[in-house]
């Protein structure tokens, strides 16, 4: 009988966008998202995620360099598939770039990227980022069609949108969980590293975290919201503990 396979440690990337949202509500420099990045690094977070939006509603251009200078944690830059954002990514050279859909009128990223329908637009962007040594991720729905598109595009990473799972209940949530698990297994089988994120909370994270093929969860809004009541250090530590106990 072969020895049991022990799941690897699940990485936690913390999205600090909404620290910047609070700062920008009044202008000035407080609260500084760089300080949030430093706290995440101090309490055992594995990466920093920041979304530089076209309208700069939270993270600003100068934040990227300051985050990179303040901590050695890898920076995952969430970005739209635009020429402007590609140039910014090439200038800052983050560890990773996660391509997400973006519409100016949405309050947050509401859906997943249609990698299958936008192949011709995405192909040169993925190629340019990859050639620059930036690890490309595509934020997609847990669907075979989208994963196959990521494979054709040569993306080494996909991040599965867990919003449908997070907002479902009962049998519907169980079905969404199964979809994520099945697609994570299929991704690994085809040499792609699967991540997941969107809408994850203390209450719903463990079934997702228990999926052994997932390598990383990216969580932001919920952690920043909890930090208002308990502090960012405690917020991140509790999420880390829940993820670890699920494995």
Comparing CA positions, the residue from 197, 201, 102, 199 lying closest to residue 158 is 197
CB 142 within 8 A of CB 109: no
208 Cβ neighbours under 8 A, 6+ residues apart: 162, 165, 177, 180, 196, 200, 214, 217
Angle subtended by helix axes 83-92 and 119-131, to nearest 10: 10
β-pairing, 216-219 vs 11-15, is parallel
The dihedrals phi and psi of 221, each to the nearest 5 degrees, come to: -50, -45
Tokens of 176: 């969404």
DSSP assigned state of 4: P
Please enumerate in sequence order all residues whose Cβ is within 8 A of that of 24, keeping only pairs 6 or more positions apart, or say none: 57, 58, 60
Whole-number Å distance between alpha carbons of 188 and 208: 16
> Residues with catalytic annotation?
51, 78, 198
The separation between CA 149 and the C-alpha centre of its own chain, rounded to angstroms, equals: 19
């Amino acid at each position: 009988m072969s020895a049991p396979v022990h799941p690897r440690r699940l990485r936690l990337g913390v999205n600090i966008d909404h620290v910047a949202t609070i700062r920008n509500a009044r202008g000035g420099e407080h609260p500084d998202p760089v300080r949030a990045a430093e706290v995440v690094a101090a309490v055992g977070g594995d990466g920093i995620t920041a979304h530089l939006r076209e309208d700069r509603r939270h993270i600003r251009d100068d934040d990227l360099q300051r985050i990179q200078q303040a901590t050695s944690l890898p920076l995952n830059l969430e970005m739209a598939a635009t020429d402007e954002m590609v140039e910014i990514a090439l200038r800052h050279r983050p560890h990773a770039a996660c391509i997400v859909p973006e519409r100016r009128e949405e309050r947050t990223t509401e859906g997943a990227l249609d990698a299958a329908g936008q192949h011709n637009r995405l192909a040169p962007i993925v190629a340019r980022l990859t050639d620059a040594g930036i690890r490309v991720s595509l934020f997609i729905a847990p669907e075979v069609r989208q994963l196959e598109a990521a494979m054709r595009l040569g993306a080494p990473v996909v991040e599965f949108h867990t919003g449908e799972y997070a907002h479902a209940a009962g049998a519907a949530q169980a079905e969404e969980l199964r979809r994520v698990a099945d697609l994570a297994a299929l991704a690994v089988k085809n040499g792609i590293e699967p991540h997941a994120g969107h809408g994850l909370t203390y209450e719903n994270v463990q079934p997702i975290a228990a999926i052994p093929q997932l390598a990383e969860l990216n969580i932001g809004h919920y952690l920043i919201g909890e930090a208002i009541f308990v502090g960012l250090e405690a917020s991140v530590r509790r999420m880390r503990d829940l993820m670890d106990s699920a494995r």
